[in-house]
């Protein structure tokens, strides 16, 4: 799966499952600062990503995901490993 498709599917998950504002989602968007995702929301986000892409994201890797772009990169790495 390439980054474009990952971004598209991630965007859908963020909007439809987490209720985030579609207009604010871009690769530079910071989950906590720009998208108003609190600490519980970050966990929900990671679970949604695991379900959507069939990957596992342990806590020590999750710590490094702060932006939409970083989330896309992590998924891309796992899917293409």
Partner 1 sequence: MAAGDRVRGNQRRRVVVTGMGVISPVGNDVDSFWKSITEGRSGIGHITRFDASAMRTRIAGDVKGYDPGHYFDRKDVRRLDRVSQFFMIAAREAMAQAGIAYDPDDEAAARSGVVFGGGFGGMESFTEEIRILDRRGPDRVSPTGIPKIIINMSAGLVSIEHNLLGPVTCVVTACSASANAIGDAAEIIRRGAADMMLAGGSEATITDYGIAGFAQARALSSRNDEPERACRPFDADRDGFVMGEGGGALVLEERDRAQARGATILAEVLGYGMSADAYHITLPRPGGTGAARAMKAAMADAGIDSSEVSYINAHGTSTEANDATETAAIKLALGDDAYRVPVSSTKSMTGHLLGGAGAVEAVASILALERSLIPPTINLDTPDPECDLDYVPNQPREFSGDYAMSNSFGFGGHNVTLVFGSSGVGNKEG
Is 12 part of the annotated catalytic residue set? Answer: no
Whether the CB-CB separation of 51 and 11 falls below 8 Å is answered with: no
The interface region with partner 1, picked from 2-10, 26-34, 35-43, 63-71 by CB under 8 A, is 35-43
> Which tokens in the block code for residue 28?
């530079």
Catalytic residue among 12, 36, 38, 51: 38
Residue 8 found at the interface with partner 1 (CB under 8 A) = no
Whether the CB-CB separation of 72 and 7 falls below 8 Å is answered with: yes
H helix count then E strand count, the chain: 4, 0
Q: For the CB of residue 3, give the shortest distance to partner 1 in the complex, in Å.
A: 26
- Block residue for tokens 């929900």: 44
Where in 49-78 is the site for partner 1 (CB under 8 A)? none
Residues lying near partner 1 in the complex (CB under 8 A): 18-20, 36, 40, 43-44, 47
- Catalytic sites, residue numbers: 38
């Amino acid at each position: 799966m390439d980054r474009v498709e990952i971004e598209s599917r991630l965007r859908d998950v963020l909007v439809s499952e987490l209720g985030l504002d579609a207009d604010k989602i871009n690769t530079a968007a910071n989950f906590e600062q720009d998208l108003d995702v609190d600490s519980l929301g970050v966990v929900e986000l990671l679970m949604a990503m695991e379900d959507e892409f069939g990957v596992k994201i342990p806590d020590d890797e999750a710590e490094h995901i702060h932006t939409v772009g970083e989330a896309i990169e992590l998924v891309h790495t796992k899917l293409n490993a």
